[in-house]
């Protein structure tokens, strides 16, 4: 009985899902794919990752320097592609789950163009008032982005 009350109390103290802020954050992650140019920074260079993941990316990049590479640098992590059709590109949240005031999981239906379609799952954390990517799961990345980065980082 006490455990049920404790769980009930915890559930009621969480704020309602911050859906508009989460949707806006997710849209911003994919916005550069709506342009035809490929002149912008690589996905791993964007300021959209948590501090912990950004540090892990830095260690991975250091380990990749001068090596054959892990393959992560050969495609856009967020588009699951090397090329995309900006006119047809879409990335729409299909499920948003706020796990706590600072953690959320968002499934994104991704269409980089042509006949390609994939679902990505973003694990987000709120840092300094912004929703940022802590981890990413997708068919192109074995396990998860963080696990793959850890396997190849120094």
Domain ranges of the chain: 18-152
Q: What is the spatial distance between Cα 145 and Cα 135, in angstroms, rounded to a whole number? A: 6
Place of tokens 């300094």: 128
For residue 105, give both structure tokens.
Answer: 């999981």
- Model confidence band, residue 140 (pLDDT cutoffs 50, 70, 90): confident
* Average pLDDT for 56-83: 84
In 3D space, the residue among 91, 80, 84, 73 whose CA is nearest the CA of residue 31 turns out to be 91
Which one is the CATH code of 18-152: 3.40.50.300, 3.30.70.100, 3.40.640.10, 3.10.450.50? 3.10.450.50
Give the model's pLDDT for residue 75: 86
| pLDDT above 80 (res 126) | yes
Q: Is 147's pLDDT higher than 60?
A: yes
Average pLDDT over residues 83-98: 92
Give me the pLDDT at residue 152, please.
86
Burial class, 5, CB count within 10 angstroms (exposed 0-12 / middle 13-18 / buried 19+): exposed
Residue 68 has what pLDDT? 66
Quote the pLDDT of residue 15: 54
Question: Tens of pLDDT along 2-49?
Answer: 344 344 344 333 455 588 999 999 999 999 898 877 778 899 999 999
């Amino acid at each position: 009985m006490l455990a049920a009350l404790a769980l009930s109390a915890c559930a009621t103290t969480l704020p309602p899902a911050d859906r508009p802020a989460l949707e806006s954050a997710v849209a911003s992650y994919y916005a550069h794919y709506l342009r035809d140019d490929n002149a912008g920074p690589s996905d791993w260079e964007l300021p959209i990752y948590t501090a912990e993941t950004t540090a892990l990316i830095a260690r991975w990049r250091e380990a990749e320097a001068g090596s054959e590479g892990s393959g992560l640098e050969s495609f856009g992590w967020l588009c699951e592609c090397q090329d995309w059709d900006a006119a047809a590109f879409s990335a729409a949240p299909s499920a948003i789950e706020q796990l706590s005031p600072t953690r959320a999981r968002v499934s994104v239906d991704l269409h980089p163009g042509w006949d390609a379609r994939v679902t990505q799952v973003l694990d987000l954390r709120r840092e300094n008032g912004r929703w940022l990517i802590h981890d990413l799961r997708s068919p192109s990345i074995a396990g998860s982005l963080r696990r793959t980065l850890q396997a190849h980082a120094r």
